[in-house]
Each structure stands twice: as structure tokens, then as C-alpha cells.
Amino acid sequence: MRNKILSLTIILIILFSFSAFSSQCEEKEVHFRVLKVYWGVDQPVEVSPGETAQLTVILRYEMSKSLNNLKAALSLPRGFEAIGGGNESVVVYTKTIVKGSILELQFPLFIGSNVTLGSYTANLTLEYFISEYAILNSTVTVEFEVTGKPAIVIRALNDSLRQGEQRVLILILNEGDASMHSLRITRIHSSTVSIEPMSYESTGDLKPGGNLTLPVRSFVPASLSGKIASLTVEGSYLGPTNVAYSFSKTIQLPVKPSNPAPLRLTISPRELTIGRRSGISVRLENTGGHSLSEIKMSLSPTGALEIFGSASFYIGRLPPGEARLIETEVYVPSVASQTASLMATVTYLDDDLWISRSETHKLSVLLRGFIDISLTDTAVIPSAPTPGSPFSITMTITNIGTSTAYAAYAIPDLEGLPLKPFGPRSVYVGNIETNLPTTITINLQLENTTQRRMVLPVIIRYLDNLRTSHNVTFNIPINVAHLRKSETQVPKSGKTSVSIEDPLLLGVIAIIIAVVAVIVIVLKRGR
């Protein structure tokens, strides 16, 4: 019996010695290697004091022996606390662990509000089983950082909006405990207010408590008076560890009725000719009750206009009820548009309220096409029509202007002339394009007349690009041929005939008859 007890004791001593030797050998080796430590679950996040967050520790198993169970205990530095209490957070990993296995351990922690920003270290103790007789402990150092995080706040510096066009000042404020950088404003939009498209990008840092102001041009319709208008600002930025943040903030502002603009701008003339340079004048009138000073106005064309003269003007002072006239020169190229505009941007200082204001006025003008119809050729066929016979007049006209003449008609003015239409009275010509000859044929019939020559007015009636009717008249000379009565006729036998229709011949005959009569009378008296 004593021998059995002795043998069992020797065996236990040998096993314990082997286990201790094995443990000492393996403790000299690295069992687990820390690959990464970050706050967050799926993606890294930035944390601030007073928050609850998951601390993720990623390990890689380096030993060849497989493990079945692992217990990880994270000893927390002062100021950090495990969820549930205590300064140690414990996680149990139950999956099979082989060499090269990646372990992702997540420790839910509370960061005390008294924790300062900076780097921290904690010991992570790992307890695991090599065999049913060998339990090993391994400790690794975990380093993590509390950087703080930026927190963006967006609000409007305007306390309200007014009807019409205006500038809204958007304040972007960093109320977090860490700097932000690479701030981008990608979109500012509204479902009720018209917003001028804009974007903003900053490469600098916006420190905690720092701010910047963005001016946004907007137009508030009159239907929003007494209601609430909303503006949404969207963008993104990076935190101190390059964690990306995106935001969408909505600002709501009450809409008040708009005060009438103290400046009234009028342009003259209200109509310009296409293809020509024209002088224009803009009248600035102070319709308010305050004096305005430091008035700066810039003109910018929209559409077809081009400014040839000065585009920037300055007026030192404009008292209430007074007006100033400024002049410049513009050119309208050949375009199909019927209107054009000048955008007048005016900035000034209200002397009584001591506030700077900016207004934009749209000065619109009509663009009338320049049409010049010229007569380039005429032909009367036959060249000298006879009474009672039809004839035609062919006219070739050319539009040497800069705009097309629309829906043109050719109308002969027959009043007081021995002419009548031989077919339709007017001839439809259609559109008369620029620099292209257009041929018109008018068919008429000459009535009985003793006139040898007459002038026929032909009216060309057309519309310009503004659908205004215009007339241009061309005078066409017409020579008339008359048939002569035959005194004698030449029959087929070859006898001649003499015409007595010629007035000269009739005069000669009358003189001869008179002379013969005188001679006869004288002879009778002599007898």
C-alpha cells in the first residue's frame, strides 16, 4: 500500500514538473499579438469624455496548439468604467482558436466626463487552456486614444426672411471638443425658397469653438409671407483621426413682408434693334425716405446683349426723391430671341440706418429685328402692254437687314389706274430671309386708256419678329403701247396700206387740206 502511494506521488510530481516546464517555455514565446485597437464596432469612431462606446481589440494567435476557450480581462485606467460597474471588463471567447486565428474582442466601456483627451494604455489578461491539465495566462498591452470629436452646429444669422431676393448668412460652428478639417458643403436646398446653387470646400482646420459664415443668395416668393421657410445644408468633414462625418441640417426661419426697395431703376429706350449698336440710359431714383451713399452699380448682360461702354458706375450720394442718369452703349448681335436683359447689381449704404444693402434689378428690353427690303430688279412682260391685254410684272427684292421678314405679301395699289387684277389681287411671298433674292410675279390686265406711261405702286407688307406689321412701297413704271388704224391695207396681191393713226401724219394732212382750200378760194375770187 505504501508502495502504491509512493508511486502515485512520483507520477504527480513528474506531471506537475512537466506542466510547469511546458508553461515556462511557452510563456517566453508570444502567444497573442495585438493587431489593432479602435473605438467602434464595424468602423472606427472618435469618442469624447462622458460617452459610452465599444473598444475593439483585434488579436492574432501565434502558437501552434489549438485552443477552445479564452477569457479576456481588460484592466481599465482611472476614469474608465466597464458597463455594469468596475474597473475591469471581461469578455469570453468560445470559438476554436488555431494558429493564425484573428480574434475580435469588444469591450463596452463608459468614458468618464473627467477623462482628459490623450493616449491611454491598459493591460489585457488572456486566460486559456492548452490541455485539461495546463491553464496559461498571457498579458498584452493595449493602447487607445480619446481624441474627442467635432460637433457641427448650423444656424442662420438672419432672424427672419423677407419676400423677394436677399442674402442669407449661414453660420457653421464647431461645438465639439476636437478640430475638424476638409469641411465640404455639397448642397444647400429648400422646398419653399429658391436657392442659388453653391458649394464650399475648406482644407484648413476648424478648431473647437471656431466658426465660419457662408453667404447664400435666395429668393422668397410672396406666398410665403407669414409662414416658415426651411433651408437644408448638406456636407461632410473629417475628424482628428480622419474619421469621416456627414451631416444634413435644416434651418427654419419666419418670413416677413418685404419692405419696398428704396431704389427704382428704369432703362430707356425699352426697345433695341438687332444687329446695331445703341446707346442706353439707366435712371436710378431714390424713392425711400433715407439718403443713400456709396452707391455702386454693375451691369452684366444676359442673353444676347453685349456691353460696349462702361459696365461699372459709382454715385457718391443720392438724397430722397432725387435721381441720377447713367449712360452706356450696348450691341445686339443677330439672334432669334425677342427679349434681352441687363442685370443691375446695386450696393449702397443707408445713411440713417447705417446698414449696407444689396439689390439686383433685372432690366428687360425688347429686341426688334432690323429689316431692310430693297428692290434689285423689275421686269414688265410684255415691256409695253396694249389696252385690253394682260401682262405681268416680275420683281426681285432682297432683305439686306439682319432679321427675317415674316408672312410677306405683295399688294399692287390699283387706285386711279386703268388696271385690274388678272387673278388674285395680292401675292403671298412668305418669309423673306436675309441676303437671299426673292422673286414676285404680279399678273394684271390693262384697260382701255389713252395714257402712254403710268407708275404702279406695289406695297410689300410683312411682319417683324415682334409680329408688328410694316409696309414698304416700290413704284414700278409701265409703258403703254397703242394700236394704229390703217388708212389702206395691203391685200394678198401686194398693195400697200397707209396708217393714218399717227398724230404727226394727221397734222400734215390737215395742213395740206387747209392749203388746198385756201388756193381754191383764191382762184374762185380771181375769176
In tens, the pLDDT along 450-461 reads 889 999 999 999
Rounded to 5°, the CA angle 220-224-230 comes to 70
Question: What pLDDT does 490 receive?
Answer: 40
What average pLDDT does range 491-498 have in this prediction? Answer: 40
Among candidate residues 354, 218, 329, 318, the one with its CA nearest the CA of residue 276: 329
In tens, the pLDDT along 344-396 reads 999 988 776 555 778 889 998 888 989 999 999 999 999 899 998 999 999 99
Q: Are 250 and 230 in contact (CB under 8 A)?
A: yes
Q: Are 428 and 384 in contact (CB under 8 A)?
A: no
Q: Is the pLDDT of residue 402 over 80?
A: yes
Question: What pLDDT does 168 receive?
Answer: 87
In tens, the pLDDT along 56-83 reads 999 999 888 888 788 999 999 999 999 9
Among candidate residues 366, 348, 369, the one with its CA nearest the CA of residue 357: 348
Question: What pLDDT does 253 receive?
Answer: 92
Kindly list the distances between the CA atom of residue 315 and the CA atoms of 59, 189, 312, 342, 356, in Å, as whole numbers in the listed order.
74, 36, 11, 19, 15
Among candidate residues 323, 317, 320, 367, the one with its CA nearest the CA of residue 341: 367
Question: What pLDDT does 351 receive?
Answer: 73
- CB neighbourhood size of 459 (10 A): 14
> How confident is the prediction for the chain on average, in pLDDT?
84
Q: Is the pLDDT of residue 505 over 90?
A: no
Rounded Cα distance between 35 and 37, Å, is 7
- Greater confidence (353 vs 307) lies with 307
Kindly list the distances between the CA atom of residue 54 and the CA atoms of 174, 448, 450, in Å, as whole numbers in the listed order.
25, 115, 118
In tens, the pLDDT along 262-274 reads 889 999 998 888 8
Question: What pLDDT does 507 receive?
Answer: 60
Question: What pLDDT does 510 receive?
Answer: 65
pLDDT category at 518 given cuts 50, 70, 90 is low
- CB neighbourhood size of 440 (10 A): 20
Rounded Cα distance between 44 and 378, Å, is 90
What is the torsion angle, in degrees rounded to the nearest 10, for the CA atoms of residue 70, residue 76, residue 81 and residue 87? 80
Q: Is the pLDDT of residue 16 over 60?
A: no
- Greater confidence (500 vs 288) lies with 288
Question: What pLDDT does 77 receive?
Answer: 94
What is the torsion angle, in degrees rounded to the nearest 10, for the CA atoms of residue 111, residue 114, residue 119 and residue 124? -50
Question: What pLDDT does 161 receive?
Answer: 84
Q: Are 340 and 367 in contact (CB under 8 A)?
A: yes
What is the torsion angle, in degrees rounded to the nearest 10, for the CA atoms of residue 159, residue 162, residue 168 and residue 170? 30
* Cis upstream peptide for 269 (omega within 30°): yes
Backbone region of residue 264 per phi and psi (left: phi > 0; alpha: psi in -120 to 50; beta: other values): beta
Rounded Cα distance between 142 and 35, Å, is 10
What average pLDDT does range 158-178 have in this prediction? Answer: 86
C-alpha cell recorded at residue 179: 478640430
Question: What pLDDT does 251 receive?
Answer: 93
In tens, the pLDDT along 95-145 reads 888 899 999 999 999 999 999 999 999 999 999 877 666 678 889 999 999
Q: Are 420 and 389 in contact (CB under 8 A)?
A: no
Q: Are 144 and 166 in contact (CB under 8 A)?
A: no
Question: What pLDDT does 492 receive?
Answer: 41
Q: Is the pLDDT of residue 497 over 50?
A: no
Q: Are 487 and 499 in contact (CB under 8 A)?
A: yes
Question: What pLDDT does 2 receive?
Answer: 58
Q: Is the pLDDT of residue 166 over 90?
A: no
Question: What pLDDT does 11 receive?
Answer: 57
Q: Are 446 and 391 in contact (CB under 8 A)?
A: yes
- Greater confidence (494 vs 419) lies with 419
Rounded to 5°, the CA angle 304-310-315 comes to 125
Kindly list the distances between the CA atom of residue 92 and the CA atoms of 102, 103, 138, 213, in Å, as whole numbers in the listed order.
15, 11, 15, 51
Question: What pLDDT does 68 receive?
Answer: 77
Q: Is the pLDDT of residue 26 over 90?
A: no
Question: What pLDDT does 15 receive?
Answer: 47
Percent of the chain with pLDDT over 90: 52
Put simply, whether the predicted model's pTM sits higher than 0.75 gets the answer no
In tens, the pLDDT along 193-252 reads 999 888 888 878 999 999 999 988 888 888 888 899 999 999 999 999 999 999 999 999
Strand blocks (E) in 76-179:
80-82, 88-93, 102-111, 118-129, 135-146, 152-156, 161-162, 164-174
Percent of the chain with pLDDT over 70: 83
Question: What pLDDT does 179 receive?
Answer: 94
